[in-house]
Chain A
Amino acid sequence: MIGVIGVLVRRNIIVIFMSIELILNAVNINLIALSDQLQDLAGQVFVVFVIAVAAAEAAVGLGIVIAFYRNKETVNIDEIQIMRW
């Protein structure tokens, strides 16, 4: 919930990525809590996958941020308007 608000409110794209990490963490907590409740290990396996996908997403997203900052000198998403090569 907080992460969703962060995605919607903030204008710094790095903080938006951090908010996405918060959302994924909330999902992981829910999965592990349910895996503990139901005595089923599949939840923890899914958490491993979610962590891997989150790491990949962070790497690629921050690579995009660096490439963009090198071109446009900003991390404000209001100023990111073009989507051309």
Chain B
Amino acid sequence: MGEALLFWPLSVLILGLGVMVVSAQSAVHSVVFLVINFLLVAVLYVTLNAEFIAVIQVLVYAGGIVVLYLFVVMLVNLKKEPERFADPRRLARSGLVLSGLVLALIVVAAVSSVLRNSGEGAVSGELGSSTPFVSGNTEQLGWVLYTSYLVPFELVSMLLLVAMVGAIVLAKRHL
């Protein structure tokens, strides 16, 4: 039940952000919506018992690919200046709203953590904080990846090497 409660708003947000990625006027806005979309998809992976893939999603997509997109947008799209930012009040207002949201988030997180600690204080006191949390998903995935799928794994590594060399050669100014 809780999973469904998380799933439906998440999927609606993901789909809406996808629409906004496609329909945004400026490419920079598209990239920002794409980052949020990738992070929400990572949350969806966590709810689907794929923690390792969620971490990989955040690292590779939100960390690597989006930075690549931002660099290319910076290099390419320098012509059109957005006129809406000429109004200084707009930035101030949106900053106020965003900082209020962050404050509310911090308050909610603090209150919920305090409540949880007061509830589980007796249990966690005898276990101690040194108990390691091992998911197990990463170990299983690594086992399957390095035994049954060893040859495709090596092929993918070769593909990544070739793509890296190719991208450098393509983007280089003088060969």
Interface residues of chain A, those whose CB is within 8 Å of chain B, are 2-3, 5-6, 9-10, 12, 14-15, 17-19, 21-22, 25, 28-29, 32-33, 35-36, 41-42, 44-45, 47-49, 51-60, 62-67, 69-70, 75
Contact = CB atoms under 8 A, between A and B. Distances in A.
A66 B171 contact: yes
B144 A19 contact: no
B12 interface: no
Contacts of A63: 166-171
Contacts of B56: 48, 51
Contacts of B173: 70
A52 B159 contact: yes
A14 B27 contact: yes
Contacts of B15: 2
Contacts of B163: 55-57, 59-60
Contacts of A32: 45, 48, 50, 53
B156 A53 contact: yes
B152 A49 contact: yes
24 contacts: A9-B22, A19-B22, A25-B37, A25-B38, A25-B41, A35-B50, A36-B48, A41-B141, A44-B141, A45-B145, A45-B149, A47-B53, A48-B141, A52-B160, A53-B156, A53-B159, A57-B163, A59-B163, A62-B171, A63-B169, A63-B170, A64-B170, A66-B171, A67-B171
Interface residues of B, number: 54
A33 B11 CA distance: 13
The 6 closest A-B pairs by CB, nearest first: A56-B163, A63-B170, A6-B22, A63-B167, A59-B167, A2-B18
Contacts of A41: 140-141, 144
Nearest to B166: A60
Contacts of B100: none
Given A3-B18, A47-B53, A55-B64, 6 more contacts: A28-B57, A41-B140, A45-B145, A51-B60, A60-B167, A62-B72
A62 B68 contact: yes
Given A45-B149, A69-B76, A62 B156 contact: no
Nearest to B38: A25
